[in-house]
Structure 1
């Protein structure tokens, strides 16, 4: 095939393309006309080529170029307030469980620790004793021994010197199937003290200590003592202060400089020093003397018991700690008494007023504190047989005197 003329790019119908456009390209009506080329506005343009540096120069410049500074770490995004608050307030049962368990451990550990410091004394007498009886009977003794008090404390509490060891307070607390009974025994009660004849009952403690007092009471009443608790002179004041004070309700204004006591008539809040003076003083009632004092002692003991086992004691860690740690310095328990026995005694003390129990003085026939043989024997038998429901108002009176005498 013969070579055809090439298109020279002019697009103007040059003679080389006469075979396509006709012999002349002009004037020939049948000749194909060439369409002039139009420039394209979006035609891609070729960028000029930049000269490339030599390889060696490129390395040199790269080495000389300082390293770029590290980009700063992005600041943490501020937490969403709504999300943070939501996480803080979210209730998680396991946190509450841990808190409860920690509190229970505290409630148990504190008295166990305090108990390791508690002193115990022998108290059970030798020889024949009454047989075992239903229920539990505690002998509570308020010793006026000043050995546990400093000189400053003796001055503040008005307890006198550090000589002598007698019992200002003697109480029997019986618990069983019936109501609890707290029976005061006036310290001036005239009884037979084994080995020492007929004399005041508190002399038994001075002669032979706790065993001598227990023997005297068991022989005189027939009631078997199961547990022994001794409260030192400062013990009452310490416990009252530990529970934040108690309420006392004197029937008359009381002023006794020796007992550091000066209070008005009527119910009022008392701190430890005032409560101790209220429980010790007998000079403010010349007629009844020791009989009035044992009434005040029962009132104070019952008030302390109510405060000891109030819910606030167990919810306030400071008060709970002070109360538990007041025990070793002021309380002495009989040999064989354990922490559970002591807890039962503390619980029993809270149930001696109102429907939960009764408070009395041992039945007496006169202000010389001679026991009423018939009435006192009925009272003792009700306790021995755990029939405290049978103890009526004719036996259980505040002073121990028959109801008609006390008014």
Structure 2
């Protein structure tokens, strides 16, 4: 009887404690302020997902191991909008190439990446809202070290590469074929754009980033991960330390996002890049981009001609 009681109570106590631990450990920023002309809320919920290239918190040895250099300040390697619908339309994950030229409030038309460097999450969110017409409800940011730690926490992520990837800028190489990437290798994969395997540069990089997020979410939500308390704790603890969210966001919001994105690898999530006019990804196709964001804002299906890698 005692053993049965322990088996029943332990998951409940452990789960409750872990929930509290994660919610109290996540880094927080103030909620985005309102401003004149801010888009009205549409259907569904929108997340701004940011991969920061900040080296803050990385000691020189770790930075060298991760091959991230020593650049100061903060920029964004990854900018995505995740839309979780209110109806049965599939969730949507849209990459916004970091070199896209868009109006940045108070700073003219420049790279969207500059908004984060100049004014942090608040200015980036306002820039994204005004460029897309979508109101941002939630925010999630992760840095280099946190991303690598998250991958290592789940024991690595299995990924199949069509060919060898060699970055001529960093000298890093990933072999072709199916393999389990650790945190360092995963960071190399999602950052790589100077390679024969990424001829479209940033457009290939953002496609690879979505591919990896799908594999990571699939691994994190697998039965093997969830029934192992050690892996579950490592994943939750590392995720909490690595993430920056809004004051108003909680663990339930994060789990809702993860649950919505779990179908990326199986095709249950629409993944695309904002339509652009050429391979540099500097200019958005205004007509197609407007159509895409209007459909997303209304929880409407995305037609095939607006879905791009």
Q: Does 1:354 align with 2:262?
A: no
Counterpart selection for 2:73 from 145, 161, 164: 164
2:232 aligned residue: 320
TM-score, normalised with respect to structure 2: 0.93
| Structure number with larger C-alpha Rg | 1
Query: Is the CA contact 2:168–2:195 (under 8 Å) kept in the aligned structure 1?
Result: no
Query: Is the CA contact 1:125–1:214 (under 8 Å) kept in the aligned structure 2?
Result: no
SS at match of 1:275: helix
> Which ranges in structure 2 are unaligned for 5 or more consecutive residues?
none
Q: CA deviation at 1:149?
A: 1.3
2:122 aligned residue: 211
Counterpart selection for 1:113 from 21, 30, 35: 21
- Cα deviations across residues 312-336 of structure 1 (Å, max 9, x unaligned)? 1221111011111102331111121
Aligned residues: 304
Deviates more, 1:109-118 or 1:236-245: 109-118
Q: Does 1:233 align with 2:144?
A: yes
Query: Is the CA contact 1:233–1:330 (under 8 Å) kept in the aligned structure 2?
Result: no
1:25 aligned residue: none
CA distance in 1, matches of 2:12, 2:71: 41
Counterpart selection for 1:131 from 34, 40, 43: 40
Q: CA deviation at 1:95?
A: 3.6
Q: CA deviation at 1:119?
A: 1.0
TM-score, normalised with respect to structure 1: 0.71
Query: Is the CA contact 1:123–1:210 (under 8 Å) kept in the aligned structure 2?
Result: no
1:173 aligned residue: 82
Counterpart selection for 1:223 from 134, 158, 174: 134
Query: Is the CA contact 2:218–2:265 (under 8 Å) kept in the aligned structure 1?
Result: no
Query: Is the CA contact 2:167–2:195 (under 8 Å) kept in the aligned structure 1?
Result: yes
What pairs with 1:6-405 in structure 2 (closer than 5 Å)?
A: 95-128=3-36, 129-161=38-70, 163-176=72-85, 177=87, 178-256=89-167, 259=170, 261-285=172-196, 287-369=199-281, 370-387=283-300, 389=301, 391-398=302-309
Q: Given the superposition, is the C-alpha separation of residues 104 and 296 from structure 1 closer, same or farther in structure 2, using an over 3 Å criterion?
A: same
> Which ranges in structure 1 are unaligned for 5 or more consecutive residues?
1-91, 399-407
CA distance in 1, matches of 2:9, 2:242: 31
CA distance in 2, matches of 1:356, 1:108: 30
Structure with the larger RCO, 1 or 2 (CA within 8 Å, 6+ apart)? 2
- Cα deviations across residues 177-200 of structure 1 (Å, max 9, x unaligned)? 210111111101111111111111
